[in-house]
Chain A
Amino acid sequence: MAIRHYWSMAAAAVVFRLVLVLFGGDLHLASRPEVSTPLTSIRRLAEGYWLKQASMSPYSGSMYHGSPLLLSVLGPLTKKRSIGHAHIYCSLIFVAVDFIAAMLIRATGHSLQMARNRSLKSLELTEAVVNISAGDIASLIYLWNPWAIVTCVGSCTSPIENLMVVIMIYGACSRLAPLAAFGYVMATHLSLYPAILIVPIILLLGFGPDTPPTKVFHLKFSRARKSDILDDDKSTISRDVPHFSWKPVFHFILWLLFWSCYVLLLSNIILNKVGSLQEMFIKTYGFVLTVTDLSPNIGVLWYFFAEVFDIFRSFFLIVFNMNILFMVLPLAIRLKHRPCFLAFVYTSIVAMLKSYPSVGDSALYLGLLGLFANELAEMQFTFFLFFGYIGVSLLSPVMHNLWIWRGTGNANFYFATGLAYTCLQTVLIVESVSSMIKHDRKLRLLVTP
């Protein structure tokens, strides 16, 4: 069952973005700390492009920290400035990028749905098959998410990063190793953190899209054997138990190497004579990992590293960066049968703990959350989470205003909203994982009445 008026709603979202871009006037979104980070700000990109045009390294000074590829793609567009809106051409590109990402999310949702229905049928749980199209829901969430809209209109490069992550997941879901590898390499190149998504990608390519746990299939299989069903039935069930196939993974790794070399080569060509790859790594990955820019954002690291004593700085840098890595393995073990969901969990953890988070990252994982609308139907605290997100996103600019413009508040006010936001994200992750596990348990109970 597809959603009624899907295409009109999607078109309305695109039109809404276009209206905001073309007629919205200067909303100053590009200068909001919630929207643009040092990594994604288009103003810094314009500065980097200017430096490069002046035959200087785009990384000289501490302005630009993005990829050289973006410089050559978006850079020429930043020069054409029109009155009213500073970077109108970039914004138009981002509108298209958002739309493509939403379409890819939709396609991912469809393939997930097919895989789900197939495995439920093989488990003879036909009544559990629901026909709500999660892909449609997810893509609409992504298109109509106010944060995605704000990021798109505010001309940050995060829509491109999001698109790369979505391309990677889509490619892996439809077992297109070259596409998945391209998305992976580009996403990692642009913002480093998607590197940990290699675990779900390999699982996706090896096992295929999300299924109920293998244990459920084995239970079903043993029951079927007990109740003495014909041989061909057995074989169908055993065929549906996912097996790890090495071939696509091998392809993926080959393509990964190819694309990495290609991207590095391109960067080298672009930076030819004005900079070097080593400088690029220091100014992009090094900048991300060492949290050198302490200007306020919606995360929690800027405040912490502004306060911490210098002697402890490197220790806490290791701790905070390891924090993300610590969660990779346990989650992978627990959710290995649902690699797509695992990718969602990783994305949301990264959006919470990365050094320069913005609402664009949250827009991505909230969109991906829609893919699991069927599985997460019984999720707890959704009312609280929904209004919490609304409250925080309204509170954050007010607190910023109080601190920066009125002078009647201080940094703690703004940081408090950052903390509240992080707490909300934590609750969202915990609740979604636990309700997914509950869902799996319910499936097992349904198989063994």
Chain B
Amino acid sequence: MQCYRDMPEFIAQQMTNLGAEVYYHEFLPQSKHFHPLKFFTSTASSMAVKPNGTYANFGINTIGIIRAPRGDGKEAIVLVTPYNSQRVQSNELLSLALGFSVFSLLSRATWLSKDIVWLSADSQFGEYAAVSAWLNQYHNPMFLSHPVILDTKMYGANKIIYGPDGTTEKADHMSFKRAGTMAAALIFKVGETRKYGDRDSVTMYAEASNGQMPNLDLLNVVHYLAVHRQGFRVNIETFSSLLSSSWLKVIAEVFQNLGSVLRKINPDWKLDVTVPDYVEGTANLANSMYNQALGVPTGSHGAFRDYQVDAVSLEYSPAFHLRNENAKSSFLLRGGRLTEGVVRSVNNLLEKFHQSFFLYFLAAPSKFISVGVYMIPFALLLAPLPVVASALADDSKAKGKSVDDCKTRGDADDLQIRGGSWKWLKSARVLLVIQIWAVLVSLLPYYISQIPSAMAIQYAVIWAVLSIIILIALYAMFGSPYCAGVEWKLLKATMITSITIGLGLMSIINFATAQLGALILIPMCLFSLPLKVQLEMKLLPRTVLLASNILLTVLGFPPAAFLIMKGLSKGSWTLDIGEFWSWMEFLWEWSSATYLYLFLVHLPCWLLCIHVLLHPCHPPESKVKQE
């Protein structure tokens, strides 16, 4: 008890001894809310915290600032060491020690031209909460609209920390101090697990919310210094199941053989990739894409990215035992040098890193796939959609016209709106109804989650039932799509156009999501053909088409896709709807755009696809015959 209450004070004492400005930042854990649109309305006022006063507990960040002797205080570099003040582990002590040693070195450095902020973040509510609460107050000064909470709670807290005699010091230590625009942030911590190997290793985490990445230059600096100067092994997160998968190895071998053959033809073509390289690259790339597509930050660096600050998390995994003092001091030396090197690199920057290196996937710590490369396959994937849509729309129009022409040639009622060019309005109406449905379905969890103390599975069932009821109600209000006699070609054209817009937008917001979604949606849309029309085809194409339709439609339904993904990755095929709910909850709590994509682009498209498949096809034709 005494130990963890003393911890911030001890750190503050050490910082003060180094001549740094010190203050405490107290924060309450933010309760998780349903705010899927936050990423989009990230204006200052909407980011203001609304602390929930019911918590008896609060976290205390300790912040030290070194003013740069050669700077003007307009820019700062942030170092973050998270530790859990409730239960300090030896690895966290080591990371605090690392932070302290760097900080004490920098407090004597004469070359600093940017202020150094050391944030020892209290991670008892998670690292992200601590860092984001501090950043929030840093950027959005709170003109306290909740004075009551602060007076009662925080004042009581101060007494706990300082005791009765620290009144003057307290006032000084409680005022929030700032140090200019943040140029970059470095989060480092020592991992709990010891990894056996010849060298200490560092794992870089970079993915922030909605697939945003820090500037690639920052990663390059860290990687270069870690590998070439300090002799660390640098890793990034990877899918370990892919590393041992045999089918990937087979593909890798094919590529290797192909590459070596090509090399024999022309030695200048350096296309051969060795099998381990290929497998590892694929596993890394898959993980990078997965993390970006999820849209949930992989660590506290995500909080920095929300304020356009480049940040990277480094997790050291020492190869020695934590009680080994010699190894520890050598580790502190090398880790400190790495941090110092990064600080020096950023310190000398006159401007921000260039803006064009934000969009990339990591295939290895030092290899990346740039936006210029990965946009090409996506654009090729998307390219058929407008072509098909315009062909379908045009086809349907031409058909309508020819019927008119043969029937009413020379008649004067050519002037009537017979829907030659406006016939798509009906299908646009269907699209509108389905989009309204999708918006309602995506907003439902906000109300459902207000129901207290229910199981995830109950929430999920309520959600599903309500969605179906709403759909039926909307059809009752606006008429079901088949009543109005919508042509299936126009319906398909509308569907394809809407997903072109949806995927195009999503590729700008979060490319990885759009890419993964496009792989399912685009074939699903392009292959969709009414079952009645399929009956007129020959047997072989019919079965192939039917099979692909069924397969893609099942894959396209988000819960089914989730189940299959879970089954493939974990090998457990138990059907649990509640898990889907908790998964979605996870997404909207982190305000991931993937949630919006799933419910505003993916789900409506899937429903439209079902409509196309089940289209009766007959009513319009019979109408023509009657006339």
A28 touches B43 (CB 8 A): yes
| Distance, CA A387 to CA B421, complexed state (A) | 14
How far is the CB of B590 from the nearest CB of chain A, in Å? 16
A383 touches B355 (CB 8 A): no
A128 touches B413 (CB 8 A): yes
Give 1 or 0 for each of A383-400: 1 = CB within 8 Å of chain B CB: 110110011001101110
| Distance, CA A394 to CA B601, complexed state (A) | 13
Instruction: Give the interface segment out of B59-67, B274-282, B504-512, B537-545.
Output: B504-512
List of B residues within 8 angstroms of A378 by Cβ = 420-421
| Distance, CA A406 to CA B310, complexed state (A) | 11
Which one, A373, A374, A399, A408, contacts B358 given CB within 8 A? A408
| Distance, CA A383 to CA B426, complexed state (A) | 11
List of A residues within 8 angstroms of B608 by Cβ = none
How far is the CB of B512 from the nearest CB of chain A, in Å? 14
The answer to whether B155 has its CB under 8 Å from any CB of chain A is no
By size class, the interface of chain B is 20 to 34
List of B residues within 8 angstroms of A446 by Cβ = 412
The answer to whether A264 has its CB under 8 Å from any CB of chain B is no
How far is the CB of B70 from the nearest CB of chain A, in Å? 27
The answer to whether B220 has its CB under 8 Å from any CB of chain A is no
Given contacts A28-B41, A384-B390, A398-B509, whether A127 and B421 have CB atoms under 8 Å apart is no
B415 touches A391 (CB 8 A): no
The answer to whether B428 has its CB under 8 Å from any CB of chain A is yes
The answer to whether B501 has its CB under 8 Å from any CB of chain A is yes
| Distance, CA A28 to CA B620, complexed state (A) | 45
List of B residues within 8 angstroms of A130 by Cβ = 415-417
| Distance, CA A384 to CA B494, complexed state (A) | 10
Given contacts A377-B417, A377-B420, A391-B501, whether A383 and B308 have CB atoms under 8 Å apart is no
Given contacts A31-B43, A377-B417, A407-B308, whether A382 and B422 have CB atoms under 8 Å apart is yes
List of A residues within 8 angstroms of B121 by Cβ = none
The answer to whether B143 has its CB under 8 Å from any CB of chain A is no
The answer to whether B433 has its CB under 8 Å from any CB of chain A is no
| Distance, CA A378 to CA B420, complexed state (A) | 6
Given contacts A127-B412, A408-B358, whether A398 and B390 have CB atoms under 8 Å apart is no
Measured CB to CB, the nearest residue on chain B to A401 is B40
B212 touches A406 (CB 8 A): yes
Given contacts A28-B41, A379-B421, A382-B424, whether A442 and B415 have CB atoms under 8 Å apart is yes
The answer to whether B179 has its CB under 8 Å from any CB of chain A is no
Q: How many residues of A contact B (CB 8 A)?
A: 37
Which one, A132, A379, A402, A405, contacts B508 given CB within 8 A? A402
| Distance, CA A427 to CA B497, complexed state (A) | 18
The answer to whether B42 has its CB under 8 Å from any CB of chain A is yes
The answer to whether B285 has its CB under 8 Å from any CB of chain A is no
Given contacts A386-B428, A395-B505, whether A380 and B421 have CB atoms under 8 Å apart is yes
A397 touches B40 (CB 8 A): yes
Give 1 or 0 for each of B482-502: 1 = CB within 8 Å of chain A CB: 000000000001000110010
The answer to whether A245 has its CB under 8 Å from any CB of chain B is no
The answer to whether A410 has its CB under 8 Å from any CB of chain B is yes
List of A residues within 8 angstroms of B411 by Cβ = 127
The answer to whether A261 has its CB under 8 Å from any CB of chain B is no
The answer to whether A265 has its CB under 8 Å from any CB of chain B is no
B421 touches A391 (CB 8 A): no
List of B residues within 8 angstroms of A401 by Cβ = 40, 42
Within 88-125 of A, Cβ neighbours of B (below 8 Å) are at: 125
Measured CB to CB, the nearest residue on chain A to B416 is A130
The answer to whether B217 has its CB under 8 Å from any CB of chain A is no
Measured CB to CB, the nearest residue on chain A to B497 is A387
How far is the CB of A16 from the nearest CB of chain B, in Å? 12
| Distance, CA A26 to CA B497, complexed state (A) | 32
The answer to whether B576 has its CB under 8 Å from any CB of chain A is no
Which one, A125, A377, A390, contacts B501 given CB within 8 A? A390
Measured CB to CB, the nearest residue on chain B to A446 is B412
A125 touches B508 (CB 8 A): no
What 20 additional pairs, Cβ within 8 angstroms, besides A128-B415, A405-B43?
A26-B45, A28-B46, A125-B412, A127-B413, A374-B417, A377-B415, A377-B421, A379-B422, A390-B501, A394-B501, A398-B505, A398-B508, A401-B42, A402-B508, A405-B42, A406-B212, A408-B212, A408-B359, A439-B415, A442-B415
Cross-chain pairs A/B with CB under 8 angstroms, 29 sampled = A28-B41, A28-B43, A127-B412, A127-B413, A128-B415, A130-B416, A130-B417, A373-B417, A374-B415, A377-B415, A377-B416, A377-B418, A377-B421, A377-B422, A378-B420, A379-B422, A382-B422, A383-B393, A391-B504, A394-B505, A397-B40, A399-B508, A401-B42, A405-B42, A405-B43, A406-B212, A408-B212, A408-B355, A439-B415
Interface residues of A (CB under 8 A from B): 26, 28, 31, 125, 127-128, 130, 132, 373-374, 377-380, 382-384, 386-387, 390-391, 394-395, 397-399, 401-402, 405-410, 439, 442, 446
